[in-house]
Amino acid sequence: MKKIFFTTAFIFFLIASCNESNVEKKDIEKIFVDCDDVEGISHNDYFENIELINLETSQKSLIHKINRLYFFKEKIYILDKKQNSIFVFDKTGRFFRKIRNVGRGPGEYIQIGDFTIDEKNNEIIVSMEIPKKVYRYNLSGNFNNSFKVNDCYGAFISIVGNKIVLSGINEKYDYTTHEYNKSTGEFIKSTDKKCKNSYNYPMIRGMYPNMIKSSKSYYNQPLDRYIFSLNDSAKRRRYLIDFGENNLPINIKNKLVDFNILGYCRENNFKTLINSFRDNEDYLFFRYEPASFVLYNKETQHTQVFNHIMDSNTGMNIYNIFPHDGSFNGVVSIMNPINIISRAELIEKNNIEIEDSTLFNLRSKVTESDNPIILRYAFR
């Protein structure tokens, strides 16, 4: 009787496991990307008119490099790891404040890592490289508290329901994603088993955030074509990006180190390093290397692949789209003032007719040494 019960239970377990696997497979939507059809698109096809945000430049607000960009409650939050700082500007670019508490005392740190915003509780949540802690600040930049976390190299951070999720690697751990209770800081679990070659690509891991917050939270590993959706209960494979014959062969990944793999992909026309994954009600958007961008229409399942946005109104051509978090429903680019000035001069020199004088108005206000300019295109 016990044997019969055990056999029945085992069969039931297998059926349940298969059903769960099948359910997950059914939930995975494959997005085919035609890599031979890459061209520029007009901003009028998908976007409203451009919005240029001139970030105020002063001794206190001067930015070296933007590592993460978050739009929340009419404010712009910018991580600059080189300066160990988080800068806060209003929606017009006026400087508000800076979070920078470098030192070894209470509430201080040696090296900042990444940040996100707990939109429900109005807190800035920061992962530190040194010390290995997560710090909490209110939106005014005042330190609230902190808790210790696993030591992970190059960890990115996100808020998922009632969890704080860190994604990074360490040779001591078999997993790359670590979850903590948002309220207490208590460790919950580690997931996402580390690939053999995780340490081959430390620089690639840090090129772009692998966790982005839009209408949902998404996560992906470098060189992996699966996109995971994150929610309070689970991390599930949601999309599979298919480049057809341009998919990077799995067996290649363990043979190459760091940026060698990017050169190898260019030489052999393989597409990789999917990043900047966002969605809204109508579209999915992501980037891959070599620098190309994808808009996927959820209703029609049409995929538009492009390498730049042409704006005939202003005479701008946008070749770089920057990953951003938060409420802004569109695409974002970062441009140095010298590029704004040069483009305006080129338009004048060639007598190019444009309808919108925004570019020329901005040129008269900036110098080459000013802060970067944020360019935003909202979806129609």
The residue extents of the domains of the chain are 29-378
Contact 181, 166 (CB under 8 A): no
What is the pTM for the complete model shown? 0.87
Tell me, what's the pLDDT at 363? 85
Tell me, what's the pLDDT at 5? 43
State the Cα–Cα distance between residues 17 and 149, nearest whole angstrom. Answer: 32
State the Cα–Cα distance between residues 231 and 166, nearest whole angstrom. Answer: 14
Tell me, what's the pLDDT at 8? 46
Tell me, what's the pLDDT at 22? 46
Residues of the chain short of pLDDT 50, as ranges, are 1-23, 198-200
Amino acid at 47: F
Tokens describing residue 9: 């239970």
Tell me, what's the pLDDT at 250? 75
Which of 112, 109, 105, 147 minimizes the C-alpha distance to 127?
Answer: 112
Tell me, what's the pLDDT at 248? 84
Architecture of domain 29-378: 6 Propeller (2.120)
Sequence-ordered list of residues with C-beta below 8 angstroms from that of 235, at least 6 positions apart, any chain = 177, 191, 192, 219, 228, 229
| Bridge pairing between strands 217-219 and 211-213 | antiparallel
Sequence-ordered list of residues with C-beta below 8 angstroms from that of 266, at least 6 positions apart, any chain = 290
